[in-house]
Structure 1
Amino acid sequence: MEISVSSHAENSASGVRWAVDGTDADRQKVDGTDADLLTPKETAPIVKLSVSTLKDKRWKGTGPSFIKLTPGRGGRIRYRRRDVEQWLTERQVAA
């Protein structure tokens, strides 16, 4: 049984409204400016790393900035595409 719930939530601290899709619980800004949130599985091929290496880099603090949507050790992780692209650009070495 699949339940699809679409609602809006507001972060009182920042005043940002989020669209929450109950099928995946991904958060996307309602205005669409940060709608491109990537899962670790989607991010890994972009940075040419395995999902486990990306996880290791998160733990060490050496990977791209990420968002933790749910608390705890098994929390849902998302990456903003622009943060991933910035992380790659910062690692570019001039020849």
Structure 2
Amino acid sequence: MPPWHRYSVVDYLPAAPAPGPGENSREPIAPATMGPLLIWTLRVVDDVLSAQKETQRLTEQAEQAIGTWESMARLRAYLDQLVERGASVPTRWHKGSTRSA
């Protein structure tokens, strides 16, 4: 029979280190909480990836579009409406600067 069966297993193990930085000192999150958090996290990530893919698709489509006199007139009418309402022109942040959308 191994000696730890006769005595305590603790007698054969090294002393447990005191919790220090990087050690988990709190109770783990309960599975009933972690499950829904994980599901919603995955949904958010899927939404972000879908939005990124759609942005890329629309950008490529816009880059290939050929402007016409009609499209220029529609753009001018749209911008004129923004100015009349005092609204700002849609912009986006791109490589450290603000650009028109």
> Does TM, scored on the shorter chain, surpass 0.5?
no
If you compute each CA radius of gyration, which structure gives the higher value, 1 or 2? 2
The TM-score normalised by the length of structure 2 is: 0.23
More strand by share: 1
- Structure with the larger RCO, 1 or 2 (CA within 8 Å, 6+ apart): 1
More helix by share: 2
